[in-house]
Amino acid sequence: MNRVEMRFLSLADNVGLARIAAAALAGQANFSIHDIEEIKVAVSEAVSNAVIHGYENRPDGWVELTMELDESGMTILVEDWGVGIADVEKAREPAYSKDPDRMGLGFVFMESFMHGLEVESTLGQGTQVRMRRFVTLSVSRDAQ
């Protein structure tokens, strides 16, 4: 059992910081290297969304990352107090992006690489992304 809370500015530099912290915490549990790689992608996507969409690349917003380890897995909460998402269901669809160089795959990766994803957002107030990853039979996965 462990819990980590981090608060950092909405800077692109902090995306890597967040995923390294998540990987370090996940390393305390029975996750495989493969599992940890997938957790890193999910955290990277959630924090990137907060920076790009939540704060629209403003560097002075706060992003909170709360991670909790328990016997069965890891829960990750990424929260921002930015502009919010008008239509969460639509935002979770692939290819929902205003930027032609962004594929709108952030939520797809989060859903695919984690075992549960909840998104709550209020326009003008911010967004909460809660993800859960269970410890699975990592030994057999690694052996594949």
Partner 1 sequence: MTIMHAIQGRHVRVAVKGDLDLKTAEPLRDALDKLVDRYRDKNLVLDLTEVEFVDSSGLGVILGRYRRLSSQGRQISLTGVKPSVRAVLELAGVDSIISIGGDPVRGQTATPK
So which residues are the catalytic ones?
45, 49, 102
Residue 101 makes contact with partner 1 by CB under 8 A: yes
Spacing of C-alpha 68 from chain mean position? 13
Of the candidate spans 42-50, 58-66, 67-75, 121-129, the one that interacts with partner 1 by CB under 8 A turns out to be 42-50
Q: Quote the least distance from Cβ 98 to partner 1, whole Å.
A: 12
CA nearest 115: which of 64, 78, 73, 69? Answer: 73
| Block residue for tokens 């690489």 | 113
Q: Which of 86, 99, 124, 143 binds partner 1 (CB under 8 A)?
A: 99
Among 39, 52, 78, 83, binds partner 1 (CB under 8 A): 52
Q: How far apart are CA 124 and CA 120, in angstroms?
A: 13
